[in-house]
Structure 1
Amino acid sequence: MPICVFDIYPDGTTTVPTDTNLTGPGAYRWWHFDLSDEMLEPWAREHLHDIPAGSLVQKQTRPRCDQFNGGLILNLRGINMNEGQDADEMVSVRMFVESDLLITVRRTRVFALDTLRQLAEVQNAPPSPAEFLEGLVARLTARVQEHVAGIYEQTDFFEVDLEDTTTKMPRELPEIRRSVIRLRRYLGPQRAALSKLAALDIPLIPQESQLELHEQANSAMISVEELDELRDRLVSVQEEHDVYVAQRQARHGYVLSVAAALFLPLGFITGLFGVNVGGMPGTGHPWAFTLLCLGMGALAVLMFALLRKLRWI
């Protein structure tokens, strides 16, 4: 059973049909399904050509826009706003659109479709399939822009943090990088699909709708360009943090190397004088230990001066 069915009239009013015909008496009939509905595929195969029917029931999709006998096969993606799910795991909308028919299929709840459904329930639905597409695309694009803007702000914060070299790399930085990559994966094809949709010269998409769709395609293009920029900026932030870590490690290693160089001859002398055999000089002299310590101190100063002269420290 569909989630909802509406006959939508040219003034935006709606009725719920009592018949099972594919189209109705209004300007168009909107069928909205969940992909998990077991009746969806038999219903689609019975009422539609195999190509649009197959596109509606595909398990995996990517954004696309293709003409089919005067109609449209359209797949779009939107930000996942469902509770407990990652926003970048974008939700999909599968559509088949004709002048008097609109079929939408979703796998996960799509809030943009829910908003249009609520408008239909209060007798304020988009009066044509083209305006329905305008409203859906506008809502999907706006939420993408909001999400990208949020990542933009986080990236600005990360870059400001770089001014303090003692700040550790943010734990969420790798996850945000992965999020940008996933978003870019879907929004690149979506930009192409929206550009193609806006360029179609068919009766289904009148000129005034084309202008609005051109604007949405432009917004999608801007979002993709921003994601490309964010991806590079986030890589730069992580690389700078990696450089700071490498510099600290190198400095610590340098200090340890200098200490080892200073104490190497001292360790040799103490080891030599620590052998427990007869004949060691100074064993019977009361000032031998004092003189040995003073000699090692002088040797340490000499080693330090030599390293400074060689510019190793």
Structure 2
Amino acid sequence: MPKLKFQSDHHKIFSRKAGSKPGMLFVPAEAFAPRYFLISFSEQHFEEAELPDYEQLINKVKTQPELRHWVDIRGYKDDTLMGKLASDFGLHALQLEDVLNDYQRPKVEETEGNNLFIVSRMLRWSDAQQNLNDVQLSIFTGPNYVLTLQSDYEDCLDSLRERIRVGKGIIRHRPTMYMAYAMLDVVLDYYFPVMAAISNLLDEEEQKIILVPSKKNLFTVLNLKSQLAKLRRIVWPERDKLNELLRMDEPLMPEEMKVYFRDAYDHVIQLIDLVDNHKEMTSSLVDLYTSTMGNRMNEIMKVLTMISTIFIPLSFIVGLYGMNFSHQNPETGKVYPFGMPELYQPYAYPILLVLMLLLVTLQVYFFYRKGWFRSM
């Protein structure tokens, strides 16, 4: 087992210095202080506790080998914690590095002693911000324990804890690999409400774009497209992970467990279909927005064109008579044959207004017969 070395980092895990030695563990400065939870059970026995320190937790696990244990550690802000886990559970430094560098894609690896290291991502949907938050769940399986590590205090596994408490289902009668499957199944179950929330938002935006499109609708759709792309980057590795689990032979993957992982695999395939369909829908909504805005602009241009068409002849008439070419020179009295004699007619002004009104009426009637008003 390689010696573990730690280094605090004031940046996020994924921004740590490039070229660091493999297996060098960087504990983030913003990490939470660790909390230690232990659930120990058998078919007839159950106990659950939050323990004040790691020593009491590992002591309970070691002194009760006949029980199955769920060792749940939340928070990493302890430079000695990972070294203790490596010593007591036989964990490799590179796997612990993946735990601390908590933006790993979902995956599965074989560990010493025919055990597994599994990475999954727990999803949370924020209605207020309309974005997707994901937290890494690291799972280590053992002969009589499952060890889970996560950076946050909150997770989506409360329903599984309640099933163990009340002895509901077969989880107390199965080996620890079944508990690992149950965790993956619960994590995947929470993907579907996320998809439902995104689907509802897409339906709402579709109605808004059809009725009253705005730039806000476009920005919302583009944000949802980005969230779906992020979700796709999570779901596809989940499929690969489960596929790899199904290909494992005993004793890593007991044959009787494969039926459960096949069911989880089917759920992932369904999620992939939903993600792809919703992603196509976002592209369709962008096209719909562009088309709707184009149609609205065409309607506006149509109205402006009709107004311009009506006023063009009127502007021509008033412009023509605005030249004021007199029929007779007021100083010399000379008469010009090509002047404007109607300028001095007593009823020239009302006659011209009636003529202009008649012209407008004829134009409106022409537009009506053409059906231009019915298409507005």
- TM-score band w.r.t. shorter chain: 0.7 to 0.9
Match of residue 109, structure 2, among 61, 66, 71: 66
Q: Which has the higher contact order (CA 8 A, sep 6+)?
A: 1
Rg larger in 1 or in 2?
2
State whether structure 2 residue 84 is matched by structure 1 residue 43: yes
CA deviations over 1:79-125 (Å, ceiling 9, x no partner): 32799786721222012223344321112245443344455566786
- TM-score, scaled relative to structure 1: 0.79
Q: Hey, what's the Cα distance between the residues in 1 that align with 2:359 and 2:124?
A: 70
CA distance in 1, matches of 2:126, 2:69: 27
Cα displacement string for residues 208-249 of structure 1 (whole angstroms, at most 9, x for unaligned residues): 211101111111111111111122123323432432232122
Match of 2:349 among 289, 296, 312: 289
Q: What's the counterpart of residue 4 of structure 1? A: 37
Q: Does 1:79 align with 2:123?
A: yes
Change (3 A) 1:116 1:82: farther
Deviations 1:109-154 (A, max 9, x none): 4544334445556678645321111211221122222332454455
User: Mind listing any 5+ residue stretches in structure 2 that lack a counterpart?
Assistant: 1-33, 50-54, 328-338
292, 302, 310: which is aligned to 1:262? 310
CA distance in 2, matches of 1:255, 1:229: 39
Output the CA distance in 1 between the equivalents of 2:195 and 2:37: 32
Range moving further from structure 2, 38-47 or 249-258: 38-47
Change (3 A) 1:87 1:240: closer
For residue 34 of structure 1, report the CA deviation from its aligned partner: 1.9
Task: Work out the percentage of aligned pairs sharing the same amino acid.
Answer: 18
CA offsets 1:3-46 (integer angstroms, 9 cap, x no match): 21345547664577847469631355433222333243343454
CA distance in 2, matches of 1:83, 1:283: 72
CA gap 1:149/1:19 in 2 versus in 1, 3 angstroms:
closer
8 Å CA contact 1:32–1:103 kept in 2: the answer is yes
Distance 1:226 1:310, change over 3 A: closer
In the alignment, the residues of structure 1 paired with residue 187 and residue 96 of structure 2 have an alpha-carbon distance, to the nearest angstrom, of 24
Aligned-partner residue type, residue 283 of structure 2: V
Q: Which amino acid aligns with 2:72?
A: H
Aligned alpha-carbon RMSD (Å): 3.9
Q: Confirm or deny: 8 A CA contact 1:35 1:106 kept in the other structure.
A: yes
Give the secondary structure class of the aligned counterpart of 1:80.
strand
Quickly say closer, same or farther: Cα 1:95–1:87, change in 2 above 3 A.
Answer: farther
Q: CA deviation at 1:270?
A: 1.4
Q: Which string of whole-angstrom CA distances, capped at 9 and with x for unpartnered residues, describes residues 152-191 of structure 1?
A: 45555666x48x9545579565554444333222112122
When structure 1 is superposed on structure 2, of 22-31 and 45-54 the one drifting more is 22-31
Q: Which residue of 2 aligns with 1:90?
A: 134
Does 2:31 match 1:31? no
1:250 counterpart = 2:298: yes
- The aligned residue for residue 146 of structure 1 is 193
After the TM superposition, which residues 212-223 of structure 1 pair with which residues of structure 2 at under 5 Å, given as runs? 212-223=260-271
- Contact 2:213/2:292 (CA < 8 Å) preserved in 1? no
